[in-house]
Structure formats: structure tokens, C-alpha cells
Amino acid sequence: MAALTLTVNGVSHTLEIPANRFLAEVLRYDLGLTGTKLGCNEAECGACTVIVNGRSIDSCIFPALKAQGADVLTIEGVAQQWVQEHPAAGTNGDELAHLHPLQQAFVCHGATQCGYCTPGFIMQSKTLLDRTLEPTDDEIKHCLKDTYCRCTGYTAIVSSVKAAAEKMRTGVLPLPDLPDAIAPLEQIGQALPRPDAVDKVTGHARYADDYLFQDMLHGATLRSAHPHARILKIDASAALALPGVHAVLTYADVPGELRHGLVEYDWPAFAGGAYPARYVGDPIALVVADTPEQAHDALAHIQVAYEVLPAVTDPVAARSPEAPVLHPDRPTGNLLKHIKVRHGDIDKGFADADVIIERTYRTPRTEHAFLEPECSVAVPAGWDDPQYGQHDKLTIYVGSQIPYADRHQVARCLGLPEDAVRIKGTVMGGGFGGKEDIAGQVHAALAATVTGRPVKILYDRAESLRFHPKRHATLIRIKTGAKRDGRLTAVQAELYGDSGAYASLGEKVMTRATTHATGPYVMDSAQIDCYAMYTNNAPLRRVSRFWRHAVGVCR
Amino acid sequence: MPLWKEYFTPTTVAEALAIRSRYGHDALFVAGGTDLVLDMQHGNHAPVMALVDVTTIGALHQIVEAEDHVVIGAAVTHAEIESNPLVREHGTALTESCGVVGGPQVRNVGTIGGNVAHALPAADGTIGLLALNAEVQVSTFDGNLVNAVWQPLLSIFAGPGKNNLGDNQMVTAFRFHTRHLGQASAFDRIMRPQGVALPILGAAANLTLGDGGLRVAAATLAIGPAGPIPFRATAAEQILQDAVALDDALIERAVLAAQEQAELRTSKHRASKEYRHEMVAVLLQRVLSRSIERARRDF
């Protein structure tokens, strides 16, 4: 342990911290200043940007002891510092007047959407406006080069920085340019701020990892070392004997149904017992410990005996009769679904064509790259927290796109009636289709129930990338017949979608791909066959526009 | 397992070297940490007992002009170099190379000493310094005293990611000669847009023109990655210096010589050997023409 003295937002603190702690951890977990966000944990995304002695830094990899004696400014202190330096700022009756001009502009110009990147953007932009109040577009882009946003497309952010600079120069905040409305109504046709925009620009919006419960434990997940393997034995005795470790949970600890899923119940909460690990993201055990470090360190002490099975990683190969079968209880083998479109007389269509073009296309799997990695915090029924109060039911705080489906799946796995489970949908740092499946919800709920204490499961970026479902990789063979005048006579297509180890929403996504394979065109005939296949890859699911881009490429 | 258990913040070079000597391989110097911490987190560098932070040593933070040289302390950040007028005047290539390292938040923390000591042949700051014919000050601790010696920059590199400094040694400063009449430098690089820390290729040129700007009196060229350690295109330099007249044909000959001498490789995440071969020509032509244009302003 080492002593750290620093000033944060004008307040002096002295703390005893482990020498390997990073500044972001000190701010978030020791001082409770959770407005500073952790996105990538490797100095790429800028969500953790804070200002140390006047310079912006990525606090995620900034050893906290580097801030010894330093003056640190975080998103929570920006408005207060502005008002102190500009005493007249809050006196003109404007309800945003107590905020820094950057914060006002981000609210009024719609530059905060999911809001997870917003604190980093405001801190980093502030360093530019501290230097110049007439920033050019190029200077703004240069300044924000390593500060990432996944929602806005940056246009609103750039215009906000310029608007804030103008406000600081002239005292007047320019409003965004709106398209002309014939007759603006009270709401429609107006630039309305998001209801949660002020919370998001001040760092007060609470994402799941921002909930810090008293006596909270932390979970860490052991995932399969192989893409396809039977779990013969799990020996957690060495891990259980480590200081701080409260429990090591496996499939045998799940009281209800082991399998969950959005469309099909095919995804075990833990691989083991009747269910092999079917991809390298499959969880095998969950360690619950006093600190995240203890939980993660304990993973190396769990002994797993695997029987490695042959893996199939290509959707075309998965349809072969010789391919290893992932879900033996399914009558259709590795075929998740065969989706067909039949229209007109395909033979006549090609016979009528002047030109026939036949091509094969491949699209890669795509990561959603939401900036907030998945986090679930479960609080057991009956828990009374000094900050968050009494919890009458098992409650899971999670940034989720489908909280009701979460409730159903958690209740199913824990063997509880649905009304014994409450999902608190927190503010979510981007989803784009990537936060619909179960991530840590079931594990956290189980761990809280077993230990009787709140349990948080937070994934880092590397773990999130490894396990969570992505957009399908596809192989598309498409044959198109056309007349010389441009009319289409026939489209014949065969699509293979790699749905990965579990169904998730794979079949729905591939249905959309199938029905969009002809594009928006009228044609005499079409014959389309899509095979959504199980493989030993990470599960695949929708990314925002529900997949249509892939067939769009082929048009 | 903690990546380190103790974190030292020495205030003098002697103190830093004494700690490092005491711990041997169980301690590492850290400056900005923007490379080292990630390497440790990704398991590319084993955990150690102690980190010794050299940025708390005040003497390593200066940029000064002394005895016809610009001297830059090892703990000066890329952002400080980027905005320093002395460096811009006398070592434009270094200004330009430090200005593109990482993003602004990384440049505010990462140091020129760390960039060089990491010994990567593609490191932007190293390429800028190498083109300026910079020297490195290596400080050695003998148990009582610190002895600081200036030596050629290339002398401290042992291989990719490896320097040849001992447990009782550290890099403490860099220096390069102030600008002569008719001298100018430039840096440029080719980079994938995001997500990869190192460039596909970087290059810097430093030319001194004679005869009113019509011939090359002296040339130093650095290209990277073009070998296991940072690379000087000495064959091309010789061709430029030997020629009686500076024209397009001369630059073409110099570029061909550099392409021949460079040891280019294919790297999985960045570029193929063949692509890099072509880019050597593109980049060298760019930095040479910029250096010439800048140098001719003196005539």
C-alpha cells in the first residue's frame, strides 16, 4: 500500500492505495466519482479522459501514484470550476446556466446520445478551448482524434465545440441549424434536449458499473479453453481456499433450468454436465470474491479436465453429414433454420435473361463496439443499502436492451417466478443489438442469491470481445438474370449464415437477410435458400440495421 | 497477480539508478507508461516487483539550447516537444514526428525517452531524432557517482524492443546540433487510420544544402521499420552528398538506394513487404522535397 495525496475538483484527498492502482480506479471506486468512464482500458477510446495539472490524460492506464500532489479535474468538477471563475454565469435565469458552455452545447446540439463517451469528450474539448476560442474544424478533429463516439457520427460533437467556443466569446450559445418545419408545434419541429442530457454531460448518469453497493462482492468468469469440449471435471478447491474468495459457482449450482435463450433455450448458463463448451466464450465457472483482483486471480487456480471434441468453424462445413454436431437434441442437426423464398418460374427467368451474372461474396463478422463493456449488478432480496435503499426482490441492475427478456431468463435459470425478479434497466453505454442476450445477468443473480450479498460482474474489453454475440459472417452465392434494358428477370441465391454456437436471434437476422436478398427491385422470379448454421464460433446476432447491409453489398 | 507491487518516485538520476541497481531485473523504469503498462497488461512483459518512475526527476524535463545544441531531457513529453519553438526551429522532423504519436492524451503523457528506450524500429520519435543525427546521454551509476556520457543514438539499440543498457544505466537526455544555414528537416509517415499503435512506415530527412540551395552538402535519412533496429539510409545519404547537383534524377537514385538497403518485412496487422517497398519511395520523396523547400528559404 502507498499513500496518495491529490486534489480532485478542488477537494484535497489522502488515500491508502495499492501501488498498482490506476487513476481511473481511484476516481471511480475509491472516491465514487463515476463520471469518468472506462471503455477500452488501453488508452484508445478516451472515455476515461481527465485533466491532471492542466493536461488531459487517459486515466485508465495512468498509474495513480503519478498523480501524487496533482490537481485533477473530472467531469464532476467542470461546471463548478466554470461558475467559480465566471460568477455572473448562473444569474441570467437560463436553466443550463450553471453548466460549462461545453456542457450546455452538448445538451442543446444533441451531442450526447448514449452519453458514455460524453465526459471524455467534454474534458478533452475543454483542453482545446482553454487554448483557443476560435477553433477550426481541423483543430477540433485533431484534438478529438483518440476520443471515440459510436452514436453521433461526431457531427453534433464538432458543432457543439464550436458553439461552446462562441458562447465563451460572445456570451450567446448558438442553437443548432434545424431543417425548416412548415408549422413547428410545441414539441414537434423543435430542438428538444434529451430528458437525461444534463445527467450525461455532468457525469451523474449512472451506468451499471457506477452502482457501488455496500459490502458488494465481485465476480470473474472462467471461460472455455477450447471451442468444443466436454467438461469432465472441475476442481475449484484451490481457488476456494484463497483469501477473499466466497464462492466458485458452476453448472451444478444452477437451481432452475440450466439453459436460457431469446428464441430457443439452447444456451447453458455454464458449460458442464450434459452440455459441452461450444465456443471459447462459454463460461465454466464463476468466482465470487471481495475484490475484482481476487476474483480474477483465482481463475488460474481452477482445474478443469476437458475432453476436446472436434470443432466446426465454417457454416458450409457445418452442413456436411460428417460435421461434429453441436446440439444433439435438435432434430435438424447443425441446421438452425432453412429459410426459403420462392417466386415465379426461376428457369423461365434465366431463359428470358440477356445477361446472367453469378458471383460469390463473403462478409465478415462484425463487432458492435459499444463503448461501455457489459456489467450486471445483482442485489439479493431483502438487502437494505444505505444509498440505494431496501430491495424487496432479487434485483439486477444492468444496461440491457430487453429487460423483460432478462427477467424471464434469470427467473427461469434461478427457478423463481418472474415476479420474484426485478430488472433495473440502467443507463446504457451503447448497445446496437449487442446487449440483448444474457451476459452477466444470470451469473450475478445466482451469485447474489448464494452469497446473500450484492455481486457485480464487469467484463473488460477483451472478455467482452471474446464472448458476446456479433453480426453473422456470411457466404452468399448469388446469380442474377437481367434484360438489356435493365429489368431483372431472376435472382437465385444461396446464403450461409454462421450463427455460432447458440441461436440467439440468429434465425431472425438471417430471415431478414433472405427476404432482402433481392433488394428493392421488382423481378419475374426469385429462388433464395438461406441456411443459418450452428458452428463452434461466437454466437451471432443483429447489429443495428438487422443485417441488411451484407446482402446490400451484393446488389 | 499485481503487475507491480512498489512504485518509486525518485527526484534525482542517482536515486533512480540506485533503486534500479538494487532491484536488478525486478524493477523497470517507467516514464509515461503508455507502452509499458499495456505490454504488462497484455502479458507481453512479465510483472515486476517495482516500477521506478523517472518523470519525477526534475532535471529530465528541460528543453534548452546549450553549446550549439538543442538538449531535450528524457522525460519531456511528445506534446511538449510538439509545441516547443526551439525544437520547431532546429529540428522540425522531431516536431513533426512527436506530433503524430498516439492521440493528444497519449502525447501528454508519453515521453521521448520512453519512445527511444523501448527500441522499436518504427517509433516516430526515434526516427525524428535519428534523422537529426542526435546523440543520447546515457547515465551510469557506479555505486557512488553518476557518470553521464553522450553517445550516438544508434549505439543503444540491441534488437526489436531491446536496448543494450545495463541495470545501472538509463537514458537521461538527447541532443542535436542547432540548424546551419541551408539546413532543414521533415518527417512523415503512413498509418492505418485507427487501432494500430505503430505506423506502416515512417521516414525523416535532414538536409543541408550548399551552392545557394543547388546541391546537397550533408544528408541524414531515417526510415522505419526497416530492420531489427532503427535504420539510417546511409547508401542514399552518400548518393545525395556525392552529387554535384540536386535534381529529380538524384532523388530517384537516392530512393532506389534506400529501397535496396532497407530490410523490409511483412507484418500481419500493418502491411506487406512489397507495399512497404513502394512506400519507401513515396515517403522519401515527400520528406526530401519538404526538406529542400524549407532549406531553400535560407537562400
CB under 8 Å to A512, separation ≥6 — which residues?
Answer: A546, A547, A548
User: What is the predicted pLDDT for the residue at A186?
Assistant: 86
Given a contact cutoff of 8 angstroms between Cβ atoms, the answer to whether B183 and B207 are in contact is yes
Nearest residue on chain B to A42, alpha-carbon basis: B38
C-alpha cell at B44: 507481453
Asked if the Cβ–Cβ distance from A145 to B103 is below 8 Å, we say yes
Mutate which of B52, B105, B191, B194 to disrupt the A interface (most A C-beta within 10 Å)? Answer: B105
Q: Say yes or no to pLDDT of A148 above 80.
A: yes
If DSSP codes are grouped into helix, strand and coil, which group holds residue B45?
coil
User: What is the predicted pLDDT for the residue at A553?
Assistant: 47
From residue B148, alpha-carbon distances to B13, B16, B60, B125, B141 in Å are 10, 14, 13, 22, 9
Query: How many CB pairs below 8 A link A and B?
Result: 76
Q: What strand order describes the sheet that includes A217-223?
A: A245-249, A283-289, A217-223, A455-458, A375-379, A394-398, A421-425
Give the domains, in start order, of chain B with CATH numbers: 6-56 (3.30.43.10), 58-177 (3.30.465.10), 191-296 (3.30.390.50)
Asked if the Cβ–Cβ distance from B108 to A63 is below 8 Å, we say no
Among A115, A81, A113, CA closest to A98: A81
Residues 362-391 of A with CB under 8 A from B: none
Q: Say yes or no to pLDDT of A546 above 90.
A: no
A19 touches chain B (CB under 8 A): yes
User: What is the predicted pLDDT for the residue at A555?
Assistant: 45
Nearest residue on chain A to B106, alpha-carbon basis: A57
Q: How far apart are CA A343 and CA A41, in angstroms?
A: 51
Q: Residue A143 is nearest to which of B9, B37, B104, comparing CB atoms?
A: B104
For A208-239, b where at least 16 C-beta lie within 10 A, e where not — what string? bbbbbbeebbbbbbbbbebbbbbbeebebeeb
Mutate which of A23, A40, A145, A296 to disrupt the B interface (most B C-beta within 10 Å)? Answer: A145
A272 touches chain B (CB under 8 A): no
ipTM entry: 0.95
Q: Which residues of A touch B109 (CB under 8 A)?
A: 55, 57-58, 62
If DSSP codes are grouped into helix, strand and coil, which group holds residue B34?
coil
Give the type of residue at A178: L
Q: How far apart are CA A444 and CA B282, in angstroms?
A: 55
What is the 3-class SS of B94-159, one letter each residue?
HHHHHCCCCCHHHHCCCEHHHHHHCCCCCCHHHHHHHHCCCEEEEEEECCCCEEEEEEEHHHHEEE
User: What is the predicted pLDDT for the residue at A352?
Assistant: 96
Q: How far apart are CA A340 and CA A532, in angstroms?
A: 11
Asked if the Cβ–Cβ distance from A293 to B109 is below 8 Å, we say no
Backbone angles phi, psi at A318, to 5 degrees: -65, -20
Nearest residue on chain A to B55, alpha-carbon basis: A66
A149 touches chain B (CB under 8 A): no
Give the type of residue at A271: A
Q: Distance from first CA to last CA of chain A, Å, rounded? A: 62
From residue B74, alpha-carbon distances to A53, A149, A545, B31 in Å are 20, 34, 50, 9
* Strand positions, DSSP E, A325-437: 335-343, 355-363, 375-379, 384-385, 389-390, 394-398, 421-425
Asked if the Cβ–Cβ distance from A61 to B195 is below 8 Å, we say no
CA distance A181 to chain B (A): 39
Q: Which residues of A touch B37 (CB under 8 A)?
A: 61, 63
Q: Which residues of B touch A63 (CB under 8 A)?
A: 7, 30, 33, 37, 51, 53
CB under 8 Å to A302, separation ≥6 — which residues?
Answer: A222, A234, A235, A236, A238, A239, A248, A284, A285, A287
Rounded to an integer, the average pLDDT of A525-543 is 87
Asked if the Cβ–Cβ distance from A61 to B104 is below 8 Å, we say no
Q: Which residues of B touch A42 (CB under 8 A)?
A: 38, 41
Among B262, B62, B279, CA closest to B174: B62
From residue A186, alpha-carbon distances to A49, A94, A96, A189, A193 in Å are 38, 19, 20, 8, 13
Of chain A, the percentage scoring pLDDT greater than 70 comes to: 96
Given a contact cutoff of 8 angstroms between Cβ atoms, the answer to whether B222 and B130 are in contact is yes
A38 touches chain B (CB under 8 A): no
Rg of chain B, C-alpha, whole Å: 19
Given a contact cutoff of 8 angstroms between Cβ atoms, the answer to whether A371 and A60 are in contact is no
Q: What's the whole-number average pLDDT of chain A?
A: 93
Count CB neighbours of A386 within 10 A.
Answer: 7
User: What is the predicted pLDDT for the residue at A542?
Assistant: 60
Count CB neighbours of A21 within 10 A.
Answer: 21
Q: How far apart are CA A257 and CA A306, in angstroms?
A: 23
CA distance A469 to chain B (A): 21
User: What is the predicted pLDDT for the residue at B194?
Assistant: 59
Q: Which residues of A touch B33 (CB under 8 A)?
A: 61-63, 66
* A506 alpha carbon, distance to own chain's centre: 18
Asked if the Cβ–Cβ distance from B105 to A68 is below 8 Å, we say no
For A296-319, b where at least 16 C-beta lie within 10 A, e where not — what string? bbbbebbebebeebebbebbeebb
Rounded to an integer, the average pLDDT of A44-67 is 97
pLDDT tens, A20-38? 999 999 999 999 999 999 9
pLDDT tens, A221-265? 999 999 999 999 999 999 999 999 999 999 999 999 999 999 889
Rounded to an integer, the average pLDDT of A433-454 is 96
Q: What are the pLDDT tens digits along chain B (299 aa)?
A: 889 999 999 999 999 999 999 999 999 999 999 999 999 999 989 999 999 999 999 999 999 999 999 999 999 999 999 999 999 999 999 999 999 999 999 999 999 999 999 999 999 999 999 999 999 999 999 988 999 999 999 999 999 999 999 999 999 999 999 999 999 999 999 988 655 678 999 999 999 999 999 999 999 999 999 999 999 999 999 999 999 999 999 999 999 999 999 999 998 888 999 999 999 999 999 999 999 999 999 99
Please indicate whether residue A148 or residue A86 has the higher confidence score (pLDDT). Answer: A148
A65 touches chain B (CB under 8 A): yes
Asked if the Cβ–Cβ distance from A43 to B51 is below 8 Å, we say no
Rounded to an integer, the average pLDDT of A386-397 is 97
Asked if the Cβ–Cβ distance from A63 to B53 is below 8 Å, we say yes
Q: Residue A43 is nearest to which of B6, B34, B53, comparing CB atoms?
A: B34
Rounded to an integer, the average pLDDT of A185-203 is 91
Q: How far apart are CA A97 and CA A409, in angstroms?
A: 45
How many residues comprise chain A?
555
Q: Which residues of B touch A145 (CB under 8 A)?
A: 103-104
Q: Which residues of B touch A142 (CB under 8 A)?
A: 104
Q: Which residues of B touch A44 (CB under 8 A)?
A: 195
CA distance A34 to chain B (A): 20
Q: How far apart are CA B72 and CA B86, in angstroms?
A: 10
CB under 8 Å to B62, separation ≥6 — which residues?
Answer: B71, B72, B73, B76
CA distance B5 to chain A (A): 6
User: What is the predicted pLDDT for the residue at A506?
Assistant: 74
C-alpha cell at A130: 482553454
Q: How far apart are CA A256 and CA A137, in angstroms?
A: 56
A132 touches chain B (CB under 8 A): no
Task: Label residue A330 left, alpha or beta by phi (over 0 means left) and psi (-120 to 50 means alpha).
Answer: beta
Query: pLDDT band at A90, cuts 50/70/90?
Result: low
Q: Which residues of B touch A56 (CB under 8 A)?
A: 104-105, 108
Sign of the torsion angle spanned by Cα atoms A18, A22, A23, A25: negative
Entry pTM: 0.94
Q: Residue B6 is nearest to which of A19, A124, A293, comparing CB atoms?
A: A19
DSSP A232-269: EEEE-HHHHTSTTEEEEE-GGG--S-SEE-SSSS-EES
